[in-house]
């Protein structure tokens, strides 16, 4: 098995209304990649959020009493905390500088995924501009995939990723937040190991494994690589949803 990751360059700074699929196709041409069935495009959340107009100026946010209280406890800007509350189903933990939430999309993350890095506003104080996650990353991935299918004719998968921390280890890791045409989970129960033993409980988070590998190619700072082409994914493509990867509350040992 050979699994290849190719960074897609020459994708310009994205603005609201930009056609992400079109930008990706142009970038693929620049590195002379012709899409094949089974290929996957992994895309950073930031360019999708920017194209969907998820840029917010904190100057227009009025914090609620709850936001002000949480800001005092966390040391964060009350206006930012107000946005965190709006984007969350539940506040799970509060530490100095960090608020851990269940995002309204169902997954657990820090500060509702709201980000300052690599964000440039239209005017005013640059520190006042933040970027929210896409409204519906699964749908965003599906729309990009559909447009690429129309343009190329190829059956591919599309994944939108973000950087998440973990409760039990240090450091952030690339994590899938939206998928289309890619299995989130691969059920290996019943598969045989090297000695003929049949697996009984093994589920592989295939989408997250792919997201983590792609994020190494993208980088986290000024690398300017918002998308990666993947060829050789070892599992069949299929319809899916990010919900496959979200652990039910009743089996979550950290709540």
Task: Quote the crossing angle between the two packed helices 65-74 and 78-86, to the nearest 10°.
Answer: 120
**pTM to 2 decimals?**
0.92
Q: Is residue 254 part of a domain?
A: no
Together in a domain, 88 and 180: no
pLDDT over 90, % of the chain:
77
pLDDT category, 129, cuts 50, 70, 90?
very high
* Counted domains in the chain: 2
Helix, strand or coil for residue 69? Answer: helix
Q: Which two tokens stand for residue 113?
A: 């995924």
Mean pLDDT value of segment 191-204: 66
Q: Which of 50-64, 133-147, 240-254 comes out lowest in average pLDDT?
A: 240-254
Last residue of a domain, one of 96, 131, 166: 131
Q: Which domain holds residue 46?
A: 4-53+134-245
Together in a domain, 82 and 206: no
Q: Which residue has the higher pLDDT, 43 or 250?
A: 43
Together in a domain, 22 and 74: no
Mean pLDDT value of segment 114-139: 86
* Closest-CA residue to 140 (of 253, 20, 255): 20
Together in a domain, 41 and 145: yes
Last residue of a domain, one of 100, 131, 162: 131
Together in a domain, 125 and 143: no
* Closest-CA residue to 210 (of 2, 3, 1): 3
Last residue of a domain, one of 131, 153, 171: 131
Mean pLDDT value of segment 233-246: 94
User: In whole numbers, what is the pLDDT of the chain averaged over residues?
Assistant: 91
C-alpha of 39 from chain center: 18
Together in a domain, 38 and 147: yes
Residue 66: CATH number of its domain: 3.90.1660.10
Q: Which two tokens stand for residue 163?
A: 């950087």
Query: Rounded to a whole number, what is the largest CA-CA distance in the chain?
Result: 64
Q: Is residue 253 part of a domain?
A: no
Residue 190: CATH number of its domain: 3.30.1330.100
Residue 4 has pLDDT above 80, yes or no: yes
> What pLDDT is recorded for position 200?
60
Q: Which of 65-69, 229-233, 239-243, 247-251 comes out lowest in average pLDDT?
A: 247-251
Together in a domain, 148 and 226: yes
Together in a domain, 147 and 234: yes
Together in a domain, 88 and 149: no
Q: Which residue has the higher pLDDT, 237 or 201?
A: 237
């Amino acid at each position: 098995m050979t699994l290849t990751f190719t960074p897609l360059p020459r994708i310009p700074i994205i603005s609201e209304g930009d056609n992400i699929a079109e930008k990706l196709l142009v970038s693929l041409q620049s590195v002379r990649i012709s899409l094949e069935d089974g290929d996957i495009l992994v895309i950073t959340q930031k360019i999708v959020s920017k194209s969907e107009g998820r840029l917010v100026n904190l100057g227009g946010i009025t914090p609620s009493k709850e936001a002000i209280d949480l800001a005092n406890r966390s040391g964060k800007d009350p206006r930012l905390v107000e946005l965190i509350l709006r984007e969350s189903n539940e506040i799970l933990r509060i530490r100095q500088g960090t608020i851990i939430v269940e995002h309204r999309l169902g997954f657990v993350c820090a500060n509702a995924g709201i980000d300052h890095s690599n964000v440039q506003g239209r005017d005013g104080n640059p520190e006042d501009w933040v970027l929210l996650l896409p409204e519906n990353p699964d749908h965003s991935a599906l729309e990009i995939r559909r447009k690429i299918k129309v343009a190329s004719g190829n059956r591919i998968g599309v994944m939108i990723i973000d950087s998440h921390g973990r409760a039990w280890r240090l450091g952030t890791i690339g994590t899938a937040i939206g998928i289309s045409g890619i299995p989130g989970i691969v059920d290996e129960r019943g598969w045989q190991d090297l000695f003929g033993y049949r697996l009984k409980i093994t589920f592989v988070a295939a989408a997250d494994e792919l997201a983590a590998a792609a994020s190494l190619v993208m980088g986290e700072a000024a690398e300017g690589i918002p998308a990666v082409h993947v060829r050789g994914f070892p599992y069949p493509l299929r319809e899916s949803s990010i919900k496959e990867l979200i652990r039910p509350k009743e089996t979550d040992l950290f709540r």
